[in-house]
C-alpha cells in the first residue's frame, strides 16, 4: 500500500497567479500521476510523472500551464500557472503500487 | 480516443435493496479497476479485473468483467448506508493509461 499526503489541502488564489501543489508518498514509487476532478465530476488525468524523465501530458494539458517536477521517488510537484477561474478544481496525485492505484487527499483550488 | 461510460448516473435505493452499476468502454481493455469515493473524500481502490469473464467477490460486492473485455459491472447486495458514495470504473487499453468513467452516485435511504 501507499500513504500519500498533499499540500496545501485547499487554497483560494487570484487569477493570473500560480500555485504549486506538493505530493509526498511514504514509499518509493516509479510512477506518479496528477489528476483533476471538478466537483461532482470524474477524474481527468493531467500527466504522468516518472522520476528521471520528463512528465508525459495528456491531450489538452501542456507543460507551460502545468509544469511538473519529480526530483525523487517519493515526491512530486504540480504547478498551476497563470490561473483562471476555469482552473478551479480538485487536484489529486496518485501512485501505482503493484496492481493498485492510491490517491492523495486532494488539493481544492478556487480561483477568483 | 478511448471512452468509458457508466450507467446509471445516479441511483437512489432503500437500505437493503440491491444496486448495480454498469461500465462500458469504446475499446477492448487490458484491465479494469473499480473505485469508491465517499462525499468529500478521495477515490479508494476496490478491485482490479484482468481476465475475460472474470468474477470477483468482496463480501456484498460482486465485480464482473465481460467476455469481450469491453464492459464490467459492480453489484452490491443488500445495500447499507455505509455504501453511499460515487463508484467509478477505470479502464485501461493496452499500453495506455487508465480512463475513468463518469461515475455512478449511490444514495441509500435508511
Walking along chain B (110 residues) 10 residues at a time, the average pLDDT comes out as: 93 98 96 96 96 97 98 98 98 92 96
Q: What is the mean pLDDT of residues A18-28?
A: 97
Chain A contacts to B (CB-CB under 8 A): 33, 41-45, 48, 58-59, 92, 99-106
Share the mean pLDDT of chain A: 95
pLDDT category, A53, cuts 50, 70, 90? Answer: confident
pLDDT of residue B10: 97
pLDDT at A52: 81
The boundaries of the domain holding residue A84 are: 4-99
What are the structural domain ranges in chain B? 4-109
Position A109 in a domain: no
Domain assignment present for residue A110? The answer is: no
Evaluate whether residue A32 is within a structural domain. yes
CATH number of residue A86's parent domain: 2.60.40.10
HEC secondary structure over chain B: CCCEEEECCEEEEECCCCEEEEEEECCCCCEEEEEEECCCCCCEEEEEECCCCCEEEECCEEEEECCCCCEEEEEECCCCHHHCEEEEEEEECCCCCEEECCCEEEEEEC
Look at residue A85 and tell me if it is in a domain.
yes
pLDDT over 90 (residue A1): no
Q: Which of A43, A45, A59 sits opposite B43 (nearest CB)?
A: A43
For A22-26, what is the mean pLDDT?
A: 97
What average pLDDT does this structure show over A46-54? 89
Of B43, B97, B99, the CB nearest to A103: B43
Q: A106 and A5 in contact (C-beta within 8 Å)?
A: no
pLDDT of residue A51: 84
Which of A49-58, A62-71, B45-54, B100-109 is predicted with the least confidence, judged by mean pLDDT?
A: A49-58
| Interchain contact, A33 vs B1, CB within 8 Å | no
The string of DSSP letters for chain A reads ---EEEE-SEEEE-TT--EEEEEEESS--SEEEEEEE-TTS-EEEEEEEETTS--EEPTT--TTTS-EEEEETTEEEEEE-S--GGG-EEEEEEEEETTEEEE---EEEEE-
Architecture in CATH of B4-109? Sandwich (2.60)
Q: How far is A16 from chain B (nearest CA, A)?
A: 28
Q: In which band, very low, low, confident or very high, does the pLDDT at A15 lie, cut at 50, 70 and 90?
A: very high
Measured from the Cβ of residue B34, the count of other Cβ atoms closer than 10 Å reads 25
Give the separation between CA B17 and CA B109, rounded to whole angstroms: 10
How many domains is chain A built from?
A: 1
A76 has a pLDDT exceeding 90: yes
Write down the residue that cell numbers 469473464 correspond to: B53
Cα–Cα distance for residue pair A87/A83, rounded to 1 Å? 6
Instruction: Tell me the residues of B at the A interface, defined by beta carbons under 8 Å apart.
Output: 1, 31, 33, 41-45, 48, 88, 90, 97-103
Position A41 in a domain: yes
Amino acid at each position: 500500500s501507499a500513504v500519500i499526503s498533499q499540500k496545501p489541502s485547499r487554497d483560494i488564489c487570484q487569477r493570473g497567479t500560480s500555485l504549486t501543489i506538493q505530493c509526498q508518498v511514504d514509499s518509493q514509487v516509479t510512477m506518479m500521476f496528477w489528476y483533476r476532478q471538478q466537483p461532482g465530476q470524474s477524474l481527468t488525468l493531467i500527466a504522468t510523472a516518472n522520476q528521471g524523465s520528463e512528465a508525459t501530458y495528456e491531450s489538452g494539458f501542456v507543460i507551460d500551464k502545468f509544469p511538473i517536477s519529480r526530483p525523487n521517488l517519493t515526491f512530486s510537484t504540480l504547478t498551476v500557472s497563470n490561473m483562471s477561474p476555469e482552473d478551479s478544481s480538485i487536484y489529486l496525485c496518485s501512485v501505482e503500487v503493484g496492481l493498485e492505484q492510491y490517491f492523495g487527499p486532494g488539493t481544492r483550488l478556487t480561483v477568483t | 480516443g478511448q471512452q468509458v461510460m457508466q450507467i446509471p448516473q445516479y441511483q437512489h435505493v432503500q437500505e437493503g435493496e440491491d444496486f448495480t452499476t454498469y461500465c462500458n468502454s469504446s475499446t477492448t481493455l487490458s484491465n479494469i479497476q473499480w473505485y469508491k469515493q465517499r462525499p468529500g473524500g478521495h477515490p479508494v481502490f476496490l478491485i482490479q479485473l484482468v481476465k475475460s469473464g472474470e468474477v470477483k467477490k468482496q463480501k456484498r460486492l460482486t465485480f464482473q468483467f465481460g467476455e469481450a473485455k469491453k464492459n464490467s459491472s459492480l453489484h452490491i447486495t443488500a445495500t447499507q448506508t455505509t455504501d453511499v458514495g460515487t463508484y467509478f470504473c477505470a479502464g485501461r487499453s493496452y499500453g495506455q493509461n487508465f480512463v475513468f468513467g463518469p461515475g455512478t452516485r449511490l444514495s441509500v435511504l435508511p
